[in-house]
């Protein structure tokens, strides 16, 4: 249960509280069988002060104003982690026949402008693929930047971080992913946390089927290329033999299941589901199977064998061909082998969007640098967000870059990127930090002074502390820590405390003011893995 003082909200007017149950946190909210194998209906009575709006992940709700009491009822069985509550200074507007958006008053106009009309389009597309939406309403609530993940698929009421509002394409993908969970994860749930891919891999596949229907194959392939790039980046960091790269991960006693969530859960899971769809020859045949799968197992929890047995029974001709034992692509190997996916999707339909990215990256990284040709070859202001972040991620992978390259990149793009969304800006600022490019360091300070969410602070602090800029990081943290949630503050303190003595000597006088002396409180001995930036693993639940 996250309790926020008014200062940690956008409006700074009223306190705020929300819960985040995934994966095993709701045992601290109410007594429960905190396992996805157990599902039940629930009812709740919540008393709140006047002026605070209370919402829950429920199909029915009433409010007795004279008593200040809300009553909620979820009529369909759900696992404990999908029980969710939020209360604060929230107002709403209808954005479709079965959807409304909730947000703090100062954010509501933006939320309406971004989502009015299109959520129903996504729901309709999903229903055409996978059958009726069974939860009644699909509402969305935007939470303050302290929300610890990007989004959460609580039934009837998706939780999403407000920070994502400025990044249109990420907002689209994140909400469509949560829409897909209405079928895969909420209706049919993985029975064990060791098989989270059953929810996340299927939801990611369904998300991409929905985006293909609504935005076209090229956009879907671009987003997939961006995510698979991140998967391979994580693979290099973790190593191909790392057991967390298995789809069926072994959950050791005492380990929080959330620690097993990574891009393999999503993207390797997606690749396996995509492979199954290709065995059918036509994705529409696979859509028909998934509709039957949902109908058979809705409101229950399943294991991987349930899905695979159902698949082979639905396609007896594939069963006769023994596709589950095809050399090198055995189903058992997909589930239990470490390393990258055994097969990846054909993304050639996105080449019109990915080719310009590859060409521009090659121009900037080919020696000798022809900066005039590189600068004139593409106008980033006309690119999609996913094109720009794919380009910047590849520059990040190649960092540190030659000084001449980073200098010319800054001259060409830095001021242009200033006006773009935070998903783009944070990547450019990570390039600045990883290349110790002092002329743009003031932009890192300005960005951190205006960000309060994990997704836009942790990656920069990790990079600052990995390199030679720890004293700069200490100074910025000292000046901004009071605007951060205590949990986030503690995480940053852990990052800063690694190898705190001695601090590297850095002359940042050209871009900073004098650094105040600072003592870190609550130092912890547990090491944080700064090598794996959260930009690689910061995904929607």
Q: Which residues pair with 413 in a beta bridge?
A: none
What's the CA gap between 33 and 48, in Å, rounded?
27
Q: In what order do the strands lie in the sheet with 2-4?
A: 2-4, 16-18, 85-88, 53-56
Distances (CA, A) of 105 to 9, 18, 108, 115, 525: 11, 17, 5, 16, 42
Q: Which residues pair with 47 in a beta bridge?
A: 69
Asked whether residue 200 is marked as a ligand-binding residue, the answer is yes
Contact 391/426 with Cβ under 8 angstroms? Answer: no
Region at 223 (left for phi over 0; alpha for psi -120 to 50; beta for the rest) = alpha
What's the CA gap between 309 and 400, in Å, rounded?
49
Positions annotated as catalytic residues are 178, 266
What's the CA gap between 31 and 42, in Å, rounded?
12
What's the CA gap between 416 and 410, in Å, rounded?
9
Backbone angles phi and psi of 399, in degrees to 5 = -80, 145
What's the CA gap between 32 and 30, in Å, rounded?
6
Q: How many CA atoms within 13 Å lie on the side-chain side of 127?
A: 12
Q: How many residues does the chain have?
A: 541
Distances (CA, A) of 13 to 4, 87, 92: 11, 13, 17
Strands 2-4 and 139-143: unpaired
Region at 117 (left for phi over 0; alpha for psi -120 to 50; beta for the rest) = left
Q: How many CA atoms within 13 Å lie on the side-chain side of 366?
A: 10
What's the CA gap between 25 and 247, in Å, rounded?
23
DSSP 504: P
- CA dihedral of residues 324, 330, 332, 335 (deg, nearest 10): -110
Asked whether residue 67 is marked as a ligand-binding residue, the answer is no
What's the CA gap between 369 and 346, in Å, rounded?
32
What's the CA gap between 447 and 457, in Å, rounded?
9
Contact 177/48 with Cβ under 8 angstroms? Answer: no
Annotated binding site: 177, 181, 200
Annotated binding site for Zn(2+): 177, 181, 200
């Amino acid at each position: 249960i996250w309790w926020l003082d008014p200062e940690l909200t956008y409006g700074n007017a009223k306190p705020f509280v929300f819960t985040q149950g995934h994966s095993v946190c709701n045992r601290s909210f109410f007594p429960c069988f905190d396992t996805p194998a157990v599902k039940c209906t629930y009812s709740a009575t919540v008393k709140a002060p006047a002026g605070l709006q209370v919402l829950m992940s429920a199909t029915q709700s009433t409010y007795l104003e004279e008593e200040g009491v809300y009553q909620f009822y979820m009529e369909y069985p759900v696992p404990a982690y999908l029980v969710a509550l939020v209360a604060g200074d929230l107002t709403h507007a209808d954005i479709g026949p079965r959807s409304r958006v909730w947000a703090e008053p100062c954010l509501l106009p933006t939320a309406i402008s971004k989502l009015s009309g299109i959520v129903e389009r996504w729901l309709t597309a999903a229903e055409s693929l996978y059958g009726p939406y069974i939860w009644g309403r699909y509402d969305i609530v935007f939470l303050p930047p302290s929300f610890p993940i990007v989004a959460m698929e609580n039934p009837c009421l998706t939780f999403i971080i407000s920070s994502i509002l400025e990044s249109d394409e990420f907002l689209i993908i994140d909400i469509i992913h949560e829409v897909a969970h209405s079928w895969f994860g909420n209706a049919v749930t993985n029975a064990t946390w060791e098989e989270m891919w059953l929810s996340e891999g299927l939801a990611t596949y369904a998300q991409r089927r929905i985006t293909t229907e609504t935005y076209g194959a090229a956009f879907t392939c671009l987003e997939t290329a961006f995510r698979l790039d991140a998967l391979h980046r994580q693979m290099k960091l973790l190593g191909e033999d790392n057991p967390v790269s298995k789809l069926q991960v072994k959950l050791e006693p005492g380990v929080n299941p959330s620690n097993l969530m990574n891009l393999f859960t999503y993207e390797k899971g997606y690749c396996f589901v995509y492979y199954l769809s290709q065995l059918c020859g036509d994705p529409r045949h696979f859509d028909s199977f998934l509709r039957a799968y949902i109908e058979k197992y809705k409101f229950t929890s399943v294991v991987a064998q349930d899905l695979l047995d159902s698949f082979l029974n639905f396609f007896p001709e594939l069963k006769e061909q023994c596709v589950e034992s095809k050399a090198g692509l055995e189903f058992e190997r997909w589930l239990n082998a470490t390393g990258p996916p055994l097969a990846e999707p054909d993304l050639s339909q996105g080449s019109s969007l990915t080719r310009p990215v590859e060409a521009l990256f090659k121009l900037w990284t080919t020696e000798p640098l022809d900066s005039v040709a590189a600068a004139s070859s593409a106008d980033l202001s006309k690119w999609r967000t996913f094109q720009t972040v794919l380009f910047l991620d590849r520059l990040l992978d190649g960092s540190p870059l030659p000084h001449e390259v980073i200098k010319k990149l800054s001259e060409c793009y830095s001021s242009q990127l200033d006006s773009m969304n935070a998903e783009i800006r944070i990547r450019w600022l990570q390039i600045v930090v990883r290349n110790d490019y002092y002329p743009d360091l003031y932009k890192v300070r300005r960005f951190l002074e205006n960000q309060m969410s994990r997704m836009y602070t942790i990656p920069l602090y990790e990079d600052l502390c990995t390199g030679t800029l720890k004293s700069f990081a200490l100074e910025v943290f000292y000046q901004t820590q009071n605007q951060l949630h205590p949990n986030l503050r503690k995480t940053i303190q852990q990052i800063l405390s690694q190898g705190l003595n001695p601090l590297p000597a850095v002359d940042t006088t050209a871009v900073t003011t004098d650094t105040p002396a600072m003592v870190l409180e609550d130092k912890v001995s547990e090491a944080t893995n700064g090598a794996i930036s959260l930009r690689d693993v910061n995904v929607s639940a």
